[in-house]
Each structure stands twice: as structure tokens, then as C-alpha cells.
Structure 1
Amino acid sequence: MTDPSLRCPILHVDMDAFYASVATRDRPDLHDRPVIVGGGSRGVVLSASYAARLHGVRSAMPMTRARRMCPHAVVLAPDFELLGQVSAAVMECFRRVTPLVEALSLDEAFLDVRGAARRLGTPLEIAEQLRATIHDEQGITCSVGVAAVVSVAKLASRRAKPDGVLVVPPEEITSFLHPLDVGELWGVGEKTRAMLHRLGLVTVGDVAHIPLRTLQRAVGAGLGSHLHELAWGTDRRVVTARRGPDEPDRSMGADETFDRDTDDREVVLRELLRLSARVTGRMRVAGVAGRTVTLKLRFADFTTITRSRTLPEGTDVTQEVYRTAVRLYDALGLQRARLRLVGVRVEGLVPRETVQRQLVLGEREHGWSEADRAVDRAARRFGSAAVRPASLLS
């Protein structure tokens, strides 16, 4: 029997409950318990295990609501350094299959495997090999959508969850798509879904069969054409290599919502140090450095501002990023303004080996950069909490 995936060279690989899976993979006592990964009582859910999802907990949900819905859940803080390491290893696994890997986030990517068929087999066989390799090497599971079209592969992986593969051959695209709610289409958010529902377009099939010009008059020419292509599975988007060695992430950042609004400078500075260490640790895992440091502040009334400063040369050094963030904070001259959230981001990332640091007369031979790498080595061996700045000790 002919493999139905032969005409489906596009794979969408999505880790299953990535943050929660990584957080619990070395905790067998938590494997069957509901687990929520998120920050603080006033933060949001970053990930929920499938046991927690049975209670209605979802990503981006406020933590207070998630706790009410699943009061017996185990709540864990995200270990971003570990997540970055696992993500980098997974992406490297993808690139062993094909150079055409388009990573959408830490835990999902498109792969165009048409050039790997002779070496590795059919797209379905490649999907199964990837699932087995990721499980063996990283101890987590993933789901794979296999299709001829990028948007259909994305939907197929969602339908394959958890820990499965779904192939949608070209001749089955419409029968797969048309019964779905329009909100399932990739890129259709809540507002667009609500608008389409008001127009009586509830299913993807409804969108497919309404005359194109009528749809364009209702929602606009550009969106109408895009929705029409998605509904028929004819979008022409191709997989473009992204976040490879020659094209790293343009920025990395992290933010934190305080348990209570604060105007205490020392509390703010400690959080800036924690966030700077988190971001630069991920940068060193990815092998990148950046020049522009951005500080994000959200006040008690939810007003949000950002301030940036560009350094003379790229850096991945925690203390350099932290000092810049502190200067940006102090320059604002805040007078008892209460903060709800702070964030640190480094932008303009380039491969670390392309950055040539200017030597300074009288500078120590070994400094903060070497200290950071020593901390990284200790963290890899003994855990992320093995070494930390004294001000961050409980």
C-alpha cells in the first residue's frame, strides 16, 4: 500500500506541553498529577500538563483563575535556562534531518523534508523517527502534522496531540478542514473568529463556499483573500530557515509580575538581576550576543513603558546587561511609583563568535564573562540553583 505521506513534505513538530514536560521529566512523582508552570500568584500560566488541562487550565490564563479551577495542581516556576538547553537540542535534532527548519518558538517548528526522503524515508517515517529521537534524547514527547501545505500541517499537529502523528494527504485537505470551526485556522484570533461568526461563517467550510468578493467586502480585500486560501488549503507559504547558526533570534527577553505592586528599589533591582541572568544564560546556550538592552516597566495602573540603550559592542555578560538595565531604571527618576511588572530584553542578536571585544588597558585578564561560563558549567552539572548572586539567595 502506498504511503499517504509521499506527497506531504511539510512537517509541523510541536512539543507536548513543553514547559510542563521539561519541568516534570525528572520528577516521576509528578507524571500523573496536574502541573501548572507559571510565575507568581498574579502572573499567567505558561504551560499546563494534560492532567491540569482536564480541569480547564490553559496557557495564558491568569494564575489566580487556574488555581481556582485546579486547586490541587502542583505549581512550578519555569527554569528558562533548562528550557533553552532542551529547545536548542531539539532544534539541532531537526537540523540533522533538514536545513529547512523554521522555528516558531522554543517548542515548535516547520520542517521541509523533501530533500531528506532518499536518505531517511517517507515524511511519515521521518516524523516517527523524530518523535522517537526526541523522546529518547530529551525525555519529552511531541506531536507531528504532516501535509503538503504549511497551514494544514500546523492544524494537523494540533489534532495529533498528545504524542501522535497525523497525515493529511492533498486529496483529504477539504474534508479535514471544512468541518472545523473558523477559529481553528492558523492566525485567526478571537476577534476575527467573533466577526466571522457574526457574519454567519461558523465553519471553515462556510468561509470556503462564500463567494470571494462577498467575503472581501465583509472583512477587507487582504484578509478575505487570505482566509479563502486557508479555507481551501491553498496558501503558498513556504518553509524558510530561521534561527539557524547564520540567522539567530533577533532578541531574547524575560519579564516577571510581582506578587504585590512595589516601589522598593532594592526589590526591583534584585528582579532585574534575576531577569538579566536568565536572559544572558539563554543567550549563551544559543551562542549569541546583543548590543541593545531594553527595560520594560508596567505600573500599578497597567501603563507600560520601555527604555533602551545600545552598547558599543555586543555582549552576553550578565553583569553588563544588568548594569545597563539599572541605569535605564535610575534615569527614569521614579518617585514612589508602584510597579506591577519588570522585564529585560536584549536585541540585535548576532552569533557570539562574530563579536570582537575591544581590549581595555589595565583590564583583568579574566572577568565577568569567564565567571558566567563557570556558573553555566556548574548549573549544567548540579542544577540551575547551584550558583547564584548573593543578593538572590533566599
Structure 2
Amino acid sequence: MKKIIHVDMDCYYAAVEMRDFPEYRGKPLAVGGSRERRGVISTCNYEARKFGIHSAMATGYALKLCPALILLPGRMEVYKAVSRQIHTIFERYTDKIEPLSLDEAYLDVSDCQLHQSSATLIAEAIRRDILAETGLTASAGVAPVKFLAKVASEINKPNGQYVITPESLPDFIAALPLEKIPGVGKVTASRLAEMQLFTCADVQRIPQHQLVEIFGKFGQVLHQRAFGIDARELNPNRIRKSIGVETTLARDIYSAEQCRQVMQHLLKELAGRFQRHAREQQIGKLVVKLKFADFRQTTIESRAAELSPQLFDNLLTQAWLRANGRGIRLVGIAAGLSAAVTKEPNANERQLTLNI
């Protein structure tokens, strides 16, 4: 059985700022776009989170929640340099590394002979090395499969780790709330709750075909995850080709304005995902997808270099014309991505092409 570690730095951008500028420590701090430019928060420290601030939140709203919030534009070159330090530490333990962003990665340490070949001890050693060499803390999750390693890394944040052994996996997965499974958002969780499904143990009692009928392909994934199954291998050369969000509606909607309201929520989520997982890549196009009540769907796309709400709205208008009176059961938006950026703007510029 594999030994997978998910390493996730604690409030990474904010942590680097507090390391380099000790006067910020103990005060609510965020890195993000300015209120005047209607930017969004990229990340914030734990002091700021006590006020309800989180990534992808509109900066103006964050400042309402915490007027004393220290807002910084960010220093992307510094964050990238520290990320390279962290990656070098990973390479001491394995060459099977799948970076997800500057501040998190999967590591397969199944073949690592260090620290008695114990994934638990290896994760502890990696976190010690990171702290000693960068002055930053990291959290880690250890599990036999990828998605559970990621779930585990959140349990003892900040500066902690959690281990799911093969022996403890059945009990852990049975009690796991479904909203903890990657891909289960608020709408899906709500629909599952309507079916009286709250934990993986509940889903284990449902035939897979029933979930597929309701949730499509994700129904199969959900059923597998409910049994702790995740056959995905690590992809060391992972380059995202697109990043997107979509929601299947509890009830069909029948107006363009309703679609726009749904899209406004998706825009915020897409901005957050872009910052967390694709900030190293350039945007090449924007896409809007609608699925109709008869389960047919349409997509409209256009070349673009930024997350433009106006362009998304234009694409939605074009897609809506194809409904021809049919209800809409799913709304989705995405950004097509190209290779890594050649010139990195500052964090204020990158994040905050999306005006909210």
C-alpha cells in the first residue's frame, strides 16, 4: 500500500510577510488586491480568520469585517523563491512529487528508506526541515491515498499533522463528513443531505448507479471515495490545462438574470481556485457552460488574458440564447490555461483581474 504525504504551508503568503516583517506578527494581516481596485483576498493569517476573513473574499468586505486589517499587495518573487527552497527539501526524501501550487504538494514516500521508512516520521522530518530552513510552519497529512492525505492535512492545522494508517482507514472514512471530500461543494452537500446522506458510511449503503443517476460521473467518484478508494497516481509534471467551477442547481431556473446570480457566486469561487492552484499559469480563454433541463449542454468560449466578469457575462448571454425556453439545471465557468507565466506581475495585479 502506498504512503502519501500532503504538505500544506500555513497561510503561506501571510506567513512569509510575518517572517520578514516581525512587526506584523500577532496582528490581522492579509495579502490581496486593494479595495479601490475592487480586489480580492489571496490569503490571510489566523488572526484575520478570527474575523471571518478568508481567501477569495472581496477586499472591501474584509475591511468591513476588520477595519484594522493590514493589507499587503504581496511579493510574488519572494514567495516563488521560498517555494523553491521547500521543493528542494522535498527532493531529499522522494522524487515523486506533485506540486499543486507554491505552497502545497503531494509526496509519494513509499520507497523512501529514511527514518525507518515511516511516512509519519518522514512527514515530521520534512516539517522540521522547512521550519529550520525557511522559518515557516507546514502542516501535513499522511494516508494510503491522495484525497485522504489532503483531508488529513487540514485536521491539525496550523503546524501539525494527522496520520491515517491502513488499519484506521475504515473507521476514519466511515465517520468522514461528505463535505470533506474534495469536489463536494455546498450545493452537492445540500442535495446529499436531502437524501439523508451525511457521512461516507451513509453513502456506502447506496448503490453506485443511484448516485450516478443523480450526480453523473461524480456519483461514481463519490461512491469510490466513500470507501477510501483513490487510484490516482502522483503526476510530477502536472500542468493544469484549465480550472473551473460549476454547480448543479436544486431546481431548474428559467431566466438569464437567475443565471447571472448563480455565476456571481461561481466567479468568487473561481478566483479563489485560480489563486490556490493555477497562479503560475497564464489565462488563455474563458468558458461558460450551461446544461439544460433535457440534459443537453452548450459551451461558449472566448480568448482572454484575465478573469473578466464582463466577458463572462457576454458569454453567458450568448449561451442563454441557446436555451430556447428550456430550464437550466447546471451553470459552469472555467478559464483555459497556458504555460507558466514569463513575466510575473505583483500579487495585487495577478489576483485581481477579477473585480468583485
- Alignment counterpart, residue 115 of structure 1, candidates 105, 111, 118: 111
Matched-pair contact (CA < 8 Å) for 2:93–2:114: no
Aligned to 2:308: 298
Q: CA deviation at 1:127?
A: 0.5
Which residues of 2 match residues 82-231 of structure 1 at below 5 A? 82-118=78-114, 121-220=117-216, 222-231=217-226
Find the residue that maps to 1:145 and give its secondary structure.
strand
Which residues of 2 match residues 273-288 of structure 1 at below 5 A? none
Aligned to 2:14: 20
Query: Is 1:347 aligned with 2:341?
Result: no
Q: CA deviation at 1:8?
A: 5.7
Aligned to 1:238: 233
Structure ID, larger Rg: 1
Find the residue that maps to 2:220 and give its secondary structure.
helix
In structure 2, C-alpha distance between the alignment counterparts of 1:48 and 1:15, rounded to whole Å: 12
- Alignment counterpart, residue 4 of structure 2, candidates 5, 10, 13: 10
| Structure 1 unmatched ranges of 5 or more | 1-6, 244-248, 253-281, 306-344, 353-371, 377-383, 385-394
Matched-pair contact (CA < 8 Å) for 1:207–1:231: yes
Q: CA deviation at 1:113?
A: 0.6
- Read off the aligned partner of 1:296 and give its amino acid letter: E
Matched-pair contact (CA < 8 Å) for 2:203–2:223: yes
Matched-pair contact (CA < 8 Å) for 1:37–1:47: yes
Which residues of 2 match residues 318-337 of structure 1 at below 5 A? none
- Read off the aligned partner of 1:47 and give its amino acid letter: T
Query: With structure 2 as the length reference, what TM-score do the two structures score?
Result: 0.67
Q: Provide, for residues 332-351 of structure 1, a one-character-per-residue CA deviation record: whole Å limited to 9, x for no partner.
A: xxxxxxxxxxxxx993459x
Change (3 A) 1:11 1:301: closer
Aligned to 1:49: 45
Among all aligned residue pairs of Structure 1 and Structure 2, give the percentage whose two residues are the same amino acid: 36
In structure 2, C-alpha distance between the alignment counterparts of 1:19 and 1:45, rounded to whole Å: 11
Q: CA deviation at 1:223?
A: 1.8
Q: Provide, for residues 252-277 of structure 1, a one-character-per-residue CA deviation record: whole Å limited to 9, x for no partner.
A: 9xxxxxxxxxxxxxxxxxxxxxxxxx
Q: CA deviation at 1:27?
A: 1.7
Aligned to 1:361: none
- Read off the aligned partner of 1:295 and give its amino acid letter: A
Matched-pair contact (CA < 8 Å) for 1:8–1:146: no
Matched-pair contact (CA < 8 Å) for 1:37–1:77: yes
Change (3 A) 1:73 1:178: farther
Q: Provide, for residues 298-317 of structure 1, a one-character-per-residue CA deviation record: whole Å limited to 9, x for no partner.
A: 36686479xxxxxxxxxxxx
In structure 2, C-alpha distance between the alignment counterparts of 1:153 and 1:346, rounded to whole Å: 27
Matched-pair contact (CA < 8 Å) for 1:251–1:349: no
Matched-pair contact (CA < 8 Å) for 1:149–1:236: yes
Find the residue that maps to 1:117 and give its secondary structure.
coil
Matched-pair contact (CA < 8 Å) for 2:31–2:72: yes
Change (3 A) 1:59 1:296: closer
- Give the CA RMSD over aligned residues: 3.5
Matched-pair contact (CA < 8 Å) for 2:42–2:55: yes
- Read off the aligned partner of 2:22 and give its amino acid letter: P
- Read off the aligned partner of 1:34 and give its amino acid letter: P
Ranked by relative contact order (alpha carbons within 8 Å, sequence separation 6 or more), the top structure is 2
Change (3 A) 1:24 1:173: same
Aligned residues: 272
Change (3 A) 1:198 1:8: same
